[in-house]
Chain A
């Protein structure tokens, strides 16, 4: 993974000092809350319903075991003993005291971490495919470019006060695991006709109250132009994006209103004038970054293991875990293992400090000391020997991190909702909990196959309901919580936006409504058809009919 040098260390430590000063000025009253707000936001500090919250950046979802131990320490020392992994591969703490935050930042800086630009109207933490570098279907590892973009975007002076927040995601695979179509800018490493690898770029995707799928701005640009082209895209947005209405300020609205053709024309006009300027990436810089992400030295580990094979026959629980949580690695003899953070009785994405320490220990023991976070709020161990799977599974079970539900209906994405968030209209965590309790028959859940269910507590869509095969959106009706169901969303390569089925359901009725949708699916499904494929084949009508037949 990337290692800081003296310059990177200096940037984060000077940032800690700057923020310490800003907090002191706020406490002394030299800064008003209005003036402090964008300063604290650009350092990931929100004021939520009950307390301040701090969001810590995990660039493109890569953590060392050392960093995970530090996250545990922070949870224990400054929070209530847990942290929450987010849909943008970050972690947030819900209960820090404002005056402790400079110390938290200092503690993070020691392990090469920060909270820079994890919120605010600026370029946010860069996200990427959680299987970058280890997936067999990858053309090229996107992480070196993600790190190049991270450094370029850190305190970029021209883009610190954009019309609205701005999110990048990268993938190097045809199988999009990073939801690039739902980001302000999505980058995909692709080869041109000559076989030369460059970037295909999408712009103007997003969720929120106006969900949109990103549009292609260029089918291919040279790698060396990554930053110059990106800078032109941001410059046109900074100059022409709407600032009169925060709900129309994202780049998706600019691209929609201006049209992708006109937006592209302006970007390319600006780009043409800066094309071979200071932002040109030399091959040597790309190679320097790639060296940080070079594959580790893999052992010649056996692709088959007798104990694994025996357990698959004899232990149903192991077989269930193996079928959902273990994936093929590009290296023979190794596997990718997902740790589910979707467990009954625990808010999706929450991990205790003790679990974090265990994850760090387990990563050191079984996966080269590295952990990956996913935008679906789970963790991945990226380099596990197949022969270690049985021992790993036993250790994960002891700390409740072996729920065999990855990509099933219960692997749901969920925002913090009205339990924590100042923006929410409705609770989302209790809905997730009730669904996890309702669907506790693992055989049934596994039979249902891949289903993405996402829950948002309000129209801002932090729970990605638009991208759920089944989406749930909390709304407020005269002070009462109601829930809409959307169907057919996807954030994968064939991205689509879910459509609302019909009138919203009450808090009590929403979970039965979800089971109704699942029963309809089972009755319509052909063979092992996925929910999304079934929905795309039969359409909305049969689901709607069954959901509202008693009305």
Chain B
């Protein structure tokens, strides 16, 4: 599957593992429930790559103490109108200083990507029936933003004189 990472299209190297499936070798993303249940065995896999997937009703606090173990946090959008994951991403970056990948999954469409990016998402699984190439254009639509956000630490009022 092709995804957007760092504003480029790449082949995804991660495997999302369903709760009932055996863990394959390599980089895996598991659900929060599986992480909570199989924590020890997941950690014993060494550093082959571990990610956790949160649903929209989960909160950043649910994984705040475990972030050092995750290379990827995947946040699901059950429908593009559901904006809860924006706050989760923001808190992961700003409050918990998480440096790994924050990935948008689910109903991920071009017109939401710029907001997601500004909240700290850096990887995007664009919905399968949509063009990834088209979605890339979302990052160029705005050159000015008012608020501080993950990519711009200062509010516009402190940048006006430039």
**Interface of A with B (CB < 8 Å)?**
5, 7, 10-11, 14-15, 17-18, 21-22, 30, 35, 38-39, 121, 151-152, 154-163, 235, 238-239, 243, 273-274, 278-279, 285, 288
- Give the complex CA separation of A166 and B80 in angstroms: 18
- In angstroms, how far is the closest chain B Cβ from the Cβ of A237? 10
How many B residues, CB 8 Å from partner?
37
Question: A276 CA to B147 CA in the complex, in Å?
Answer: 15
A-B contact pairs, 13 of them (CB 8 A): A11-B142, A14-B141, A14-B144, A21-B141, A151-B156, A157-B145, A157-B147, A158-B87, A158-B115, A158-B119, A161-B82, A273-B95, A274-B94
Using known A-B contacts A17-B141, A35-B80, determine if residue A157 contacts B157 with beta carbons closer than 8 Å: no
Question: Complex formed: what's the CA distance from A383 to B10 in Å?
Answer: 61
Max chain B C-beta neighbours (<10 A), residue from A39, A157, A235: A157
Q: How far is the CA of A35 from the CA of B95 in the complex (A)?
A: 32
B59 at the interface (CB under 8 A from A): yes
CB atoms of A161 and B80 under 8 A apart: yes
Extra inter-chain contacts (15) besides given A10-B144, A18-B142, A157-B116, CB under 8 Å: A7-B156, A10-B143, A14-B143, A30-B134, A155-B146, A158-B83, A158-B86, A160-B86, A161-B82, A161-B86, A235-B87, A238-B84, A274-B95, A279-B155, A285-B157
Instruction: Tell me the complex Cα distance, A168–B149, Å.
Output: 22
> Is A157 within 8 A of B109, CB to CB?
no
Query: How far is it, in angstroms, between the C-alpha of A21 and the C-alpha of B59 when the chains are bound?
Result: 34
Q: For B112, list chain A residues within 8 Å (CB).
A: 160-161
Inter-chain contacts of A243 with B (CB < 8 A): 82, 84
Q: Which residues, 104 to 121 on B, are CB-close (under 8 Å) to A?
A: 109, 111-112, 114-119
Partner of A38, one of B59, B80, B148: B80
Known: A155-B142, A157-B149. A278 touches B154 (CB 8 A): yes
- Listed from nearest, the 4 A-B pairs whose CB atoms lie closest are A161-B83, A157-B118, A278-B148, A157-B115
B111 touches A157 (CB 8 A): no
Q: Which residues of B contact A159 (CB under 8 A)?
A: 83, 86
A17 to B147, CA, bound (A): 21
Candidates A7, A38, A121; contact of B144 at CB < 8 Å: A7
Interface positions of B (Cβ within 8 A of A): 59, 80-84, 86-88, 90, 94-95, 109, 111-112, 114-119, 134, 141-149, 153-157, 160
Closest CB of chain B to A285's CB: distance in Å? 5
Closest-by-CB residue of B relative to A17 is B141
Minimum C-beta distance from A278 to chain B (A): 4
* Candidate in B88, B115, B147, B156 with the most chain A CB atoms within 10 angstroms: B147
- In whole Å, how far is B56's beta carbon from the nearest beta carbon of chain A? 8
From residue A220, how far is it (CB to closest CB) to chain B in Å? Answer: 23
Q: Specify which of A35, A162, A278 is in contact with B109 (CB 8 Å cutoff).
A: A35
- Measured between beta carbons, the chain A residues less than 8 angstroms from B157 are 151, 285, 288
Complex contacts, A30 vs chain B, CB 8 Å: 134
Residue contact B146 to A157, C-beta cutoff 8 Å: no
CB neighbours (8 Å) of A273 from chain B are 95
A285: chain B residues at CB < 8 Å are 157
Which of B84, B149, B153 has most chain A Cβ within 10 Å?
B84
> A157's contact among B114, B134, B141, by CB below 8 Å, is which?
B114
A157 to B93, CA, bound (A): 14
Q: Determine if A157 and B81 form an interchain contact, defined as CB atoms under 8 angstroms apart.
A: no
Q: How far is the CA of A285 from the CA of B119 in the complex (A)?
A: 24
- For the complex, give the distance between the alpha carbons of A157 and B80 in Å: 14
If the complex has contacts A7-B156, A157-B115, are A38 and B81 also in contact, measured as CB distance less than 8 A? Answer: yes
Give Cα A154–Cα B115 distance, bound, in whole angstroms: 12
Bound together, the chains give a CA A14 to CA B149 distance in angstroms of: 19
CA distance A39 to B82 in the complex (A): 14
Q: How far is the CA of A11 from the CA of B144 in the complex (A)?
A: 6
Task: Please give, as numbers and ranges, the residues of chain B lying within 8 Å of A161 by CB-CB distance.
Answer: 80-83, 86, 112, 115
**Which B residues are in CB contact (< 8 Å) with A235?**
87, 90
The verdict on A11 contacting B146 (CB below 8 Å), with A17-B141, A278-B154 known, is yes
Contact of B146 among A5, A152, A158, A288 (CB under 8 A): A152
Q: Is the Cβ of A279 less than 8 Å from the Cβ of B148? A: yes
The answer, among A39, A121, A154, for a CB contact under 8 Å with B111, is A39
In the complex, how many angstroms separate the beta carbon of A63 from the nearest chain B beta carbon? 22
B residues in contact with A11, CB < 8 Å: 142, 144, 146
Q: B138 to nearest A CB, angstroms? A: 9
Roughly how many angstroms separate A389 CA and B154 CA in the complex, as a whole number? 48
Check if A156 sits within 8 Å of B147, measured CB to CB. yes
Question: In the complex, what distance in Å separates the CA atom of A463 from the CA atom of B158?
Answer: 41
Asked if residues B87 and A157 are in contact (CB atoms below 8 Å), the reply is no
* Bound CA span A161–B148, Å: 18
Give A5 to B161 CA distance when docked, in angstroms.
10
A239 in contact with B142 (CB, 8 Å): no
B109 proximity list for chain A (CB < 8 A)? 35
Task: Find the B residue at minimum CB distance from A11.
Answer: B144
- What is the bound-complex CA distance between A217 and B146, given in angstroms? 26
How many angstroms from the CA of A163 to the CA of B56 in the assembled complex?
12
- B contact residues around A15 at 8 Å (CB): 142
Compute how far the CA of A404 lies from the CA of B125 in the bound complex, rounded to whole angstroms: 61
Contact between B119 and A157, CB atoms less than 8 A apart: yes
Measured in the bound complex, the distance between the Cα atoms of B155 and A7 in whole Å is 12
Q: Report the bound CA distance from A279 to B153 in whole Å.
A: 10
